[in-house]
């Protein structure tokens, strides 16, 4: 730390010298003529004058001449400054430049003897002085917390990190393109809601002063999007930010991105096809392939994907039939499998824990887990041939849930009963619960049969980028304050 403070003092001294020359770095204007990548691509060995700007990332001094690497968001180019009476001011100014400074340069491109395109600087402006030295080496694994906390430095030092977030943007853009071309309408629904609904999760609570009312940050947009189906829109989607006041792990961040899609006159089987086609489209456009790296193997996104019911998957991998199982037998089964639970766990809670321990880790290639119990799905339609289960799937890939979908329940009488049963269950556990009466009123105006889909965008990026922590794919993940470390 003492060494770093000394370097900062040296840079502050250089900053004062720059200002004395009338070249205050924080009060300069500079117009780029092009991005570095475009200038290099279009360079044809004849005279090319360019104005480029970026960050100095290395300096190689040779007495009366200096070479440096200039980097912008598109690429890198070598620049050359020589001590020349006609350019004396530029050379002296550049001697006050440090690695990490942002500069603008104008000059003529040429090729060195080794064939490297290089810009001979005729005009130099220091546009921002880097007062805090960049790390000489950025050890990603060793300094992983610092990488997340100081993402701005991580992006400067690690091109692969910048490429990952560029890829993330392309994935989201191509999801939009895929859905737009199929006639879906992108919409926006409230992020602050009077009732936290659409999922079972602990919400963040806030207060609206003017209305003097409690509001909840959105845990899911589902109930608002279904209101739009009632209103006559037949294909809608939202790429939204959701907030859940729960734990943080390699797969959970309290603020995360979801895609939700609703299609009138469709069911969960139609949504399966939509999901397969969307994932394949995005992978082909963004990655140029439907096979993606996963640890030491690969995941094949080529349809059709495997389909297996929840009960069958549990029986296949545990030899235990959980359908109709009594609580005592479920507890005994969990104990035999080394699954921990407490006395408040229902049969469904225990079954979910068993699935996460014994089945999910085996689901590498995309797999639709279907037919969930009614008790776990208050917003999904029952199957006609078995009213104890619902038309629902969860998509697993790379051992984690990536998507969730229903044939949406549109019976207002049945929906009220489900909400009431759910509320009674919460109250029995001492948890507060509210029924969204306005949503039930909307259903009473008639909602068409529909299929709904939710995709965890962060987890999809983890899958496509072969990352095992959600914090790797979120630009600014939530962390403990530095004072608590």
pLDDT the model gives residue 140 = 42
SS3 46: coil
* 71-74 own/partner pairs: CB under 8 Å, 24+ apart: 71/36, 72/35, 72/36, 73/35, 73/162, 74/35, 74/36, 74/37, 74/38
Sign of CA dihedral 425, 427, 433, 439: positive
Domain with CATH 3.30.930.10 in the chain: 152-305+365-480
Domain with CATH 2.40.50.140 in the chain: 2-128
Strands 306-309 and 367-370: parallel
pLDDT the model gives residue 432 = 65
d(CA 94, CA 103): 10
* Nearest CA-CA partner of 408 in 254, 209, 268: 268
Which residues of the chain have a pLDDT value below 50?
138-141, 485
pLDDT the model gives residue 137 = 60
pLDDT the model gives residue 201 = 86
- Report the CATH number of the 2-128 domain: 2.40.50.140
pLDDT the model gives residue 428 = 65
- Report the CATH number of the 152-305+365-480 domain: 3.30.930.10
The answer to whether 350 touches 334, Cβ cutoff 8 Å, is yes
Distances in Å between the alpha carbon of 262 and those of 73, 177, 376, 449? 37, 16, 20, 10
* Nearest CA-CA partner of 254 in 483, 455, 480, 482: 480
d(CA 465, CA 162): 12
**pTM score:** 0.92
pLDDT the model gives residue 448 = 98
Q: Which distant-in-sequence residues (6+ apart) come within 8 Å of 43 by Cβ?
A: 109, 117
pLDDT the model gives residue 141 = 39
List helix spans (H) across 158-267: 159-181, 222-230
């Amino acid at each position: 730390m003492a060494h770093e403070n000394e370097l900062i003092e040296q840079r502050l001294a250089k900053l004062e010298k720059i200002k004395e020359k009338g070249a205050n770095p924080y009060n300069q204007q500079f117009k780029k003529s092009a991005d570095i990548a475009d200038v290099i691509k279009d360079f044809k060995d004849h005279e090319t004058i360019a104005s480029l700007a970026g960050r100095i990332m290395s300096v190689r001094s040779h007495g009366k001449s200096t070479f440096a690497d200039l980097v912008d968001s598109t690429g890198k180019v070598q620049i050359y400054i020589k001590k020349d009476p006609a350019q004396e001011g530029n050379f002296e100014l550049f001697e006050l430049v440090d690695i990490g400074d942002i500069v603008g340069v104008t000059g003529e491109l040429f090729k060195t003897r080794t064939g490297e395109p290089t810009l001979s600087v005729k005009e130099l402006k220091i546009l921002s002085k880097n007062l805090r030295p960049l790390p000489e080496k950025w050890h990603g694994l060793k300094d992983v917390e610092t990488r997340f906390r100081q993402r701005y430095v991580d992006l400067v030092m690690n091109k692969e990190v910048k490429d990952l977030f560029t890829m993330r943007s392309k994935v989201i853009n191509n999801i939009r393109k895929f859905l737009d071309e199929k006639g879906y309408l992108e919409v926006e629904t409230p992020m602050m809601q009077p009732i936290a609904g659409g999922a079972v999760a602990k919400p963040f609570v806030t207060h609206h002063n003017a209305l003097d009312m409690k509001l909840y940050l959105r845990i899911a947009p589902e109930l608002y999007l279904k209101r739009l189906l009632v209103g006559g829109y037949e294909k809608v989607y939202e790429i939204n930010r959701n907030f859940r006041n729960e734990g943080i792990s390699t797969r959970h961040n309290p603020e995360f991105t979801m895609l939700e899609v609703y299609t009138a006159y469709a069911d969960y089987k139609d949504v399966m096809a939509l999901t397969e086609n969307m994932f394949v489209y995005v992978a082909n456009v963004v990655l140029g392939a439907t096979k993606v790296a996963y640890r030491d193997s690969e995941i094949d996104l080529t349809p059709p994907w495997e389909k297996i019911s929840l009960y069958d998957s549990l029986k296949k991998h545990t030899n235990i039939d959980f359908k109709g199982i009594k609580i005592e037998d479920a507890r005994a089964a969990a104990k035999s499998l080394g699954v921990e639970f407490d006395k408040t766990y229902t049969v469904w809670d225990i079954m979910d824990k068993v699935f996460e321990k014994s089945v999910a880790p085996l689901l590498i290639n995309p797999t639709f887990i279907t037919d969930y119990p009614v008790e776990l799905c208050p917003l999904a339609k029952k199957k006609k041939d078995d009213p104890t289960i619902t038309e629902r799937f969860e998509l697993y890939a790379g051992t984690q849930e990536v998507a969730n979908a229903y044939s949406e329940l549109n019976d207002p009488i049945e929906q009220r009963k489900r909400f009431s049963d759910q509320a009674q269950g919460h109250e029995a556990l001492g948890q507060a619960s509210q029924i969204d009466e306005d949503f039930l009123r909307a259903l009473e105006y008639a909602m068409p049969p529909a299929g709904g889909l939710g995709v965890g965008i962060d987890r999809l990026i983890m899958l496509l980028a072969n990352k095992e922590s959600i914090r790797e794919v979120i630009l600014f993940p939530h962390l403990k304050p530095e004072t608590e470390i």
